[in-house]
Structure 1
Amino acid sequence: MQDERDSQQLPPWNTYLYGLQQEAPKPFCVACQREVPNKPEFYGNEFHGNVSRSGADSLLVEDGCYLVRKSERAPDAFTLAIRFNEETKNFKLYYDGQHFVGEKRFDTVYDLVADGLIHFYIELRAADYIKQLSSESTYAESPYMAYNQCRLRHDKTLRVRGAGTNRRHGVSPNSDSAANDSSGTADGLNSTPENDEPEQDVDWTKYEKPHVFKVQNFNGLNWCELCANFMWGLIAQGVKCQDCGVQTHKKCSEKMPNECMPNMKYIKRLYGVDLTTVSKANKQTLPSVVERCVKEIEKRGLDTEGLYRLAGFHDDVEAIRVAFDKDGENTDISQTKYEDVNTICSALKLYFRLLPIPLITFDIYKPLLDIIKKDNMAEEETVKQMKDVMARLPPAHFHTLKYLTAHLVRLTEHKAKNMMSAENLSIVFAPTLMRPLETNPIVSLMAAKFEQKVIEFILNHQRDIFGR
């Protein structure tokens, strides 16, 4: 991604903090000149044993000098003494396979001191500057925004070129083949009607998604993509979004808006990944797992008894998961590869179970249960209220739920043979598609019947809730 960004017109990187890091004092170990009995094996000649604070202070004469001594207050503890700005700083020093005084862990005491000196120096010389970084940096002028604007223009160009056309299937949404309801023909029963697929003319910029930041150890020189300033230190210099790769200071990351533009080279899998993330990364309104599995199930016919109720062979289901994670929409799930259609059904259910945010999101879980609990409400009003709640779903969740439920409705049209009525399917899919944010076994057990009623009602009124 960095190569792509280099080709854009980016604001200049600010090297002020980099210059300060270069000026910071370098570590200098004050070696102990005597044998120290019972010296811990994880320390070298920086360990001085029983040395008082004043004794350490007399040994550390220049900025950057350091030593390790036994703590005077805790007999089994150790103290790191560092000279900086003409005073000695003392820190409790720990070891658990690596050396640390705070959250950061280092292979050597030397590296720990080097990192500390950099932070001491920059905080001394640039405290006010650092404090103002996130407040003074203008998001609209950031390198991140400059790059994203280029990507947004590119995506909108693709939308204009493909407007009015289902690009994946080459079918206009207004054509006769898209408008016809093929559920009344034998061929139509074994294929997915075009009008159940969302149009591909989608503005992906409206798929709001927060960044997923994680503390990162950066190699070499790195700059914050929000404020354009150097990310100082030797390790854990900042954070990096696990979905799009943007890197910033930890403080700057708190200012980032929810417009992450994921890239599959960072995500690298489909199962267990947020639905909006996958949709934005692949520029598809439907995850390939869902579309491929649904079409394969309907291609083989919908008359198989116990569809979605009977489990497929576990090893084959796991093989399908691994294959989709690796090959995406190129995954082979044909009958010659997996003879039992129940294996495909189980793989699809597994996809929904592993979503970190369920298809029916946490936000609308309680409102849906509240609606279905109103026994005295007219059916038309229940449909209206459910439709209003469904409109609150993120676009990726809305399109996928509409597509899946349309598929399940087609299954119910064959219930005389497959024995899967709307009630039976709701029992199977309720715990797969919806769950509360906080799980309490007793509460979950009491809510289960209402979850099933929600799914059954959706299947019985699918077109009224989602439209054609």
Structure 2
Amino acid sequence: MARRTSDSRNRQYTQVMPVPQTPSSSEVSEEEIEPTYQWKSHLYNLQQEAPNPKRIVCLFPTDNKPAHYGREFHGAIAREEADHLLTQGGEGSYLVRESQRAPGSFTLGLRLNHSTKNFRLYYDGKHYVAEKHFDSLHDLVADGLITLYVEAKAADYIKSMESEPIYEKHSRYATIRDKRISNGAVLPTSGSKQVPIQDQVDARTAVLDNAVTSASYEKAHNFKMHTFKGLNWCEYCGNFMWGLIAQGVRCTDCGLSTHKQCSKRVPLDCTPDRRLIKRVYGVDLTTLVKAHGTTRSIVIDKCIEELETRGLDIEGLYRVPGMQDDMDLCRQRFDKDGANAKISAKDFPDINVISGALKMYLRQLPIPLVPFEMYDRFMMAAKIQDPTERLEATHNAMNELYNIKPAHYHTLKHLINHLNRVVQQKNVNKMSAENVGIVFGPTLLREANDQTIMDNLYLLQYQKKVVEIMVENPDIIFEK
């Protein structure tokens, strides 16, 4: 296996290396971004020093050898015999033996740092001893030798490596974030020309305070374990990410790559890349608005514009369902084209398709428009008997929502103002505040845990009441 060549051993990674291209940096020119990172080479050098795997071949026939093991399998030999073979084999040598006390259980023995180490070995289509799964036993051993060697030689260094980060000084993400804030929140456009946000907003977004932009929204990174190809350095601490697979974590929304332990120190400054966000429906709302450079949901904005153009006087608006095939097509257009999705009367003559697509979007949000952590606050407010106190409690809960999830707040505000205009036409569309509450209550307010049918029936009246209060008093509820 070509794990480490002599050329790669001799390369010096103490040099200043170019910043990797930032996917989400289209709004900031390359000249404006900090030009270099100072990568730290200590852990890379240790990986290069780690011994290569050397299989101890069994010279005798073995009974009941599993098909997924090769000549490194020595049968049910004693631990002492395995240790003797590995000691003779030297650093990096390995073998597999069957347990004499527990037939059917297998142990991987390998030699490192002048001692023998034994691990319970498993196979489920891939080889593993812990979380990492490998296609071949050779790769498992190679990765294990690297990991054990590096972590033994640099235990104290690894424990403290995130204490001297390069992130705040050199991070492309921090640089882009600061540029947005200091330069009047310039948002990404489809072309290369940078257009200030004031020139991008249209009639649907003009009502917003133009000082508020999605660039100011805090968002946690969505880190997942990741296998990196080639040589990679942590973008938080600047140290090498050692191992053959699952060397660290990568944010699936913006591409930031760090050690697992360093990811816990990264600030809430994720700037999602639209090329990584493959769809619109079913995507976290804050992720979506930051990826598209908007203040609130593009689906809600565009559907409301269409509904208010040709649907406010339609009887049963939001109550009468549209055809499922058409709603699915509408969803597909948003997923493919985003804010450019075509949903006009020419494309979807039935306005109930548009209202159905809006409700489908809300139902598929992984975090509902009223987030899980705010559910109890709004429900408790709805249970207050005194109307004045109930309104004040709902207003206070909305202010808290503004502070913790501004994307949800601005989207909810736009939706509620729209529903207020729907209710103003109740004489023709037959949609009172109560009817709107029945339709939207369970969609806007969902508990994290599933409830029984009886629980749902009990909670429905308060979910409905929350929406009623908002729809009847938007000026008070959303007053800052």
Q: CA deviation at 1:388?
A: 1.9
1:337 aligns to 2:347 (yes or no): yes
Contact 1:91–1:101 (CA<8 Å) still a contact in 2?
A: yes
Contact 1:425–1:456 (CA<8 Å) still a contact in 2?
A: yes
1:65 aligns to 2:83 (yes or no): no
CA distance in 1, matches of 2:99, 2:340: 62
Match of 1:24? 50
CA distance in 1, matches of 2:260, 2:283: 23
Secondary structure of the 1:94 match is: strand
Matches within 5 A, 1:262-277: 262-277=272-287
1:95 aligns to 2:123 (yes or no): yes
CA distance in 2, matches of 1:359, 1:23: 52
Match of 2:468? 456
Which of 231, 234, 241 is residue 251 of structure 2 equivalent to? 241
Structure 2 unaligned runs (5+)? 1-18, 187-193
CA distance in 1, matches of 2:131, 2:195: 50
Instruction: Compare 160-169 and 296-305 and name the one that shifted more.
Output: 160-169
Secondary structure of the 2:275 match is: helix
> What amino acid does structure 2 have at the position aligned with 1:119?
T
Q: CA deviation at 1:430?
A: 0.4
CA distance in 2, matches of 1:227, 1:301: 54
> What amino acid does structure 2 have at the position aligned with 1:451?
Q
1:167 aligns to 2:177 (yes or no): no
Matches within 5 A, 1:175-194: none
Q: CA deviation at 1:445?
A: 2.7
Contact 1:226–1:252 (CA<8 Å) still a contact in 2?
A: yes
Match of 2:4? none
Match of 1:229? 239
Secondary structure of the 1:265 match is: coil
Which of 224, 229, 251 is residue 219 of structure 1 equivalent to? 229
Instruction: Provide Cα deviations, 1:214-270, integer angstroms capped at 9, x if missing partner.
Output: 000111001101100000000000001111111100001111122212221222211
Instruction: Compare 303-312 and 245-254 and name the one that shifted more.
Output: 303-312
Contact 1:213–1:240 (CA<8 Å) still a contact in 2?
A: yes
C-alpha distance 204-341 of structure 1, shift in aligned 2 (>3 A):
closer
CA distance in 2, matches of 1:302, 1:387: 27
> What amino acid does structure 2 have at the position aligned with 1:460?
E
Which of 51, 59, 75 is residue 77 of structure 2 equivalent to? 51
Contact 1:167–1:200 (CA<8 Å) still a contact in 2?
A: no
Secondary structure of the 2:66 match is: coil
Instruction: Compare 98-107 and 286-295 and name the one that shifted more.
Output: 286-295
1:384 aligns to 2:399 (yes or no): no
Provide the identity percentage. 46
Q: CA deviation at 1:164?
A: 9.1
1:150 aligns to 2:176 (yes or no): yes
1:406 aligns to 2:424 (yes or no): no
Secondary structure of the 1:267 match is: coil
> What amino acid does structure 2 have at the position aligned with 1:80?
L
Secondary structure of the 2:35 match is: coil
Q: CA deviation at 1:133?
A: 0.9
CA distance in 1, matches of 2:420, 2:439: 14
Secondary structure of the 1:83 match is: strand
Q: CA deviation at 1:158?
A: 4.2
Which of 96, 104, 122 is residue 150 of structure 2 equivalent to? 122
Secondary structure of the 1:63 match is: coil
Contact 2:185–2:215 (CA<8 Å) still a contact in 1?
A: no
Match of 2:107? 79
Q: CA deviation at 1:383?
A: 2.7
CA distance in 2, matches of 1:400, 1:168: 15
C-alpha distance 332-467 of structure 1, shift in aligned 2 (>3 A):
same
Secondary structure of the 2:108 match is: strand
Contact 1:200–1:284 (CA<8 Å) still a contact in 2?
A: no
Contact 2:383–2:390 (CA<8 Å) still a contact in 1?
A: no
Structure 1 unaligned runs (5+)? 172-191
Contact 1:423–1:456 (CA<8 Å) still a contact in 2?
A: yes
C-alpha distance 164-122 of structure 1, shift in aligned 2 (>3 A):
closer
Instruction: Compare 112-121 and 356-365 and name the one that shifted more.
Output: 356-365
1:443 aligns to 2:431 (yes or no): no
> What amino acid does structure 1 have at the position aligned with 2:53?
P
Contact 2:50–2:145 (CA<8 Å) still a contact in 1?
A: yes
CA distance in 2, matches of 1:255, 1:400: 30
Q: Aligned residue pairs: how many?
A: 441
Match of 2:67? 41
Matches within 5 A, 1:3-22: 3-4=21-22, 8-22=34-48
CA distance in 1, matches of 2:467, 2:244: 53
Match of 1:279? 289
Coordinate RMSD, CA, aligned: 2.2
TM-score by length of 1: 0.89
1:137 aligns to 2:165 (yes or no): yes
CA distance in 2, matches of 1:235, 1:138: 24
1:293 aligns to 2:303 (yes or no): yes
Instruction: Provide Cα deviations, 1:313-333, integer angstroms capped at 9, x if missing partner.
Output: 112211222221111011111
